[in-house]
């Protein structure tokens, strides 16, 4: 199975975002570099949100039965 090239790669985006956060937290970046890293982080966050949204939509489609949502409690959920 091949992946669609337009779909964001969640794991890759998340790893890049974590690396950016570490660089920002180090305090060694100039203001200009910090702003650039922040801007890149915002874009990566949006990519991650899009990937999660697509995954959620796919799960919802997989859980539908005869066009009706099939709601099942999560096994770890407290009653």
CATH code for position 53: 1.10.287.1040
In-domain check, residue 79 = no
* Residues 28/75, Cβ–Cβ less than 8 Å: no
pLDDT at 68: 76
Over the stretch 21-69, which tens digit does the pLDDT of each residue have? 999 999 999 999 999 999 999 999 999 999 999 988 888 888 877 777 7
User: Whole domain around residue 59: which residue ranges?
Assistant: 10-65
Q: Is the pLDDT of residue 74 over 50?
A: yes
Q: What is the pLDDT of residue 22?
A: 95
Residue 78 lies in a domain: no
Q: 64-65 and 68-69 as β-strands: parallel, antiparallel, unpaired? A: antiparallel
**What is the per-residue pLDDT for 58?**
86
Distance CA 11, CA 45 (A): 12
Query: Is the entire prediction scored with pTM above 0.85?
Result: no
Q: Give the chain's domain count.
A: 1
The mean pLDDT value for 6-11 works out to 73
């Amino acid at each position: 199975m091949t992946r669609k090239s337009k779909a964001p790669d969640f794991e890759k985006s998340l790893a890049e975002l974590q690396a950016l956060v570490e660089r920002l937290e180090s305090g060694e970046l100039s203001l200009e570099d910090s702003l650039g890293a922040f801007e890149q982080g915002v874009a990566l966050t949006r990519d991650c949100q899009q990937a999660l949204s697509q995954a959620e939509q796919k799960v919802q489609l997989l859980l539908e039965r005869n066009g009706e949502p099939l709601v099942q409690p999560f096994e770890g959920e407290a009653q």
